[in-house]
A and B are shown apart, each in its own frame.
Chain A
Amino acid sequence: MSLLKVEGLQVHYGGIQALKAINFEVKQGERVALIGANGAGKTTTLKAIAGLLKLQQGHIFFNGNAIDNTPAHARVGLGIALVPEGRGVFAHLTVADNLLMGAYLRHDRTNIRSDLERYYALFPRLAQRQKQWAGTLSGGEQQMLAIARALMSRPRLLLLDEPSMGLAPLIVKQIFNTLIEITQEGVTLLLVEQNAKLALQTCERAYVLDEGLVSLSGAANDLLKDPKVIHAYLGA
């Protein structure tokens, strides 16, 4: 069964129709990429799934249930976590408090503690900066924090919006290796990336968005060799 299924999704911003009719699904345990040019509607799709935007048409099913009318804050409790474009860390909270905010809906104190330890071990830079305001972190550290914070909710589905943006290649590599490690423990991943090559190398399947529609989809390995993809997104 698919963990996430999006059917005929339409979203408007005022007069602008950002999503025309998006269909796709993500199965439990998969890593799926959403790629496309600037303005294709990738961020809009993720925000709609997280509940930050209203749908004009269509449905979103999570774990078999329609969540169209579930408010955004309640979707977190269902197991959906979004790491937004631009990271959205709480600049004037400490790193530790940012992580605790990730566990806002959880009440299992001892497990929260052990999860904290775990992400500090996974991202040692965060451990060294526990008491620092998140706004003082570098871009890469903020991205690590945003990912770890999302994971603190113990999501079933992790939505990531451009985690590589503005980061040095070495850091990107570190973060993506960590992501693969985490998904191997059962977290399902829906990844939006400008860097199509990286996305296709990281994920098993992908959908290509083009002006608010899905124009292509398939196994990541096939898309990497697809002449249309190579021409439009891999810059060869």
Chain B
Amino acid sequence: MDIFLQQMVNGLLLGSIYALVALGYTMVYGILGLINFAHGDIVMVGAMVTLSTIGVLEGHLPIGVILLVACLVAIVVCVLMGLLLERVAYRPLRHAPRLAPLITAIGVSLLIQYSAALIWGKQYIALPELFKPSQYVWAGVEINALQIFIFVLALLIMASLALFVKHTRLGRAMQATEQNADSATLMGVNTTGVIALTFAIGAAIGAVAGVMIDLYYGQAHYFMGFLLGLKAFTAAVLGGIGHIGGAMLGGLLLGVIESLSAGYIGDLTGGLFGSNYRDVFTFFVLIGVLMLRPSGLLGRATTERA
């Protein structure tokens, strides 16, 4: 029983990070109909930049300040990358056939990966042990203060984004641009600016996710954006791509599914498959959901899109 609870808690925690990354995919898809394949790599850069900043500042400042500065640096770097990516790689292709920006996206993804390999090398980079978070045991479930912090911060970010999009003038402009770009222009919205803003917000949230990944796994790697991006994209599709609440739900669900399958797959298959098959299992779940609900859990039927 406590294995189940423990895996649930682990899954929600991991899922909250997936959800943050998934938001970047879903927001860009919503507004441009484009899968920004390079988003996972931007998150990777966020994680790497954070490790570098911590490396420089370690021992010179209090831990909290170091983490805050590292996080801000990561956000700035990732936002600039996101804006540059939009400006150079996607904006010129806005009216090109769909396949063109997709191929560009894959190219950009590789470019970022290999640049990262040049800068940081191909080995894992470890997070120095900055502090020992206090450990809690509750109903047989172990959790530490850092994990609670990550989870709460992720939820706060998601809630703020939801409120921003729903209740502010700029958020309404984002929704309007997503639903009908020409009509939004006719309201006086600078849709080019709104699209850039969308990339910037996605990248900023991705940067924070990168910091969380450092803290969660204690290490980062130039290639980790690939699988992470794939999973977060999966989460976005699971929830209904283009739907912000869907990305949040999809991320959390994906984390839980992955975690539970890691915990139980061995028992369920009589030891045939080990926990390293959890990713395969996760993608089976995705395929199952999409067969039943092609537009994802919260997605609108595609026919409704103008």
Contact = CB atoms under 8 A, between A and B. Distances in A.
List the 10 closest pairs (A to B, CB-CB), nearest first: A76-B188, A88-B183, A105-B188, A104-B187, A101-B187, A90-B179, A72-B185, A73-B190, A104-B188, A73-B188
A84 B182 contact: yes
Interface stretch (B41-49, B124-132, B167-175): B167-175
Contacts of B183: 84, 88-90
A104 B188 CA distance: 7
Interface string A44-78: 00000011100000000000000000011110110
B175 A92 contact: yes
B191 interface: yes
A149 B169 CA distance: 15
A212 interface: no
A90 B175 contact: yes
A91 interface: yes
Given A93-B176, A150-B186, 6 more contacts: A88-B180, A90-B184, A91-B180, A93-B172, A101-B172, A104-B189
B214 to A, nearest CB: 37
Of the listed residues A88, A90, A93, the one surrounded by the most CB atoms of chain B closer than 10 A to its CB is: A90
Given A84-B182, A88-B180, A90-B180, A102 B187 contact: yes
A135 interface: yes
Interface in B182-218: 182-191
Given A52-B185, A76-B186, A101-B184, A92 B300 contact: yes
A73 B185 contact: yes
26 contacts: A50-B186, A51-B185, A52-B185, A52-B186, A71-B190, A72-B185, A72-B186, A73-B189, A76-B187, A82-B186, A84-B186, A88-B183, A89-B183, A91-B179, A91-B304, A91-B306, A92-B175, A92-B179, A93-B179, A101-B176, A101-B187, A101-B189, A104-B187, A105-B188, A135-B304, A150-B186
A101 B173 contact: yes
Nearest to A106: B188
A34 interface: no
A180 B183 CA distance: 24
B195 to A, nearest CB: 13
Contacts, number: 71
A100 interface: yes
Interface string A84-125: 100011111100010011101100000000000000000000
Contacts of A71: 190
A146 B176 CA distance: 14
Contacts of B173: 101, 104
A199 B300 CA distance: 39
A91 B305 CA distance: 9
A93 to B, nearest CB: 6
A90 B174 CA distance: 11
Contacts of B180: 88-91
Contacts of B190: 71, 73
A142 to B, nearest CB: 12
A164 interface: no
Given A73-B191, A76-B187, A97 B179 contact: no
B187 A153 contact: yes
Contacts of B185: 51-52, 72-73
Nearest to A107: B169
Contact of B188 (A52, A135, A153): A153
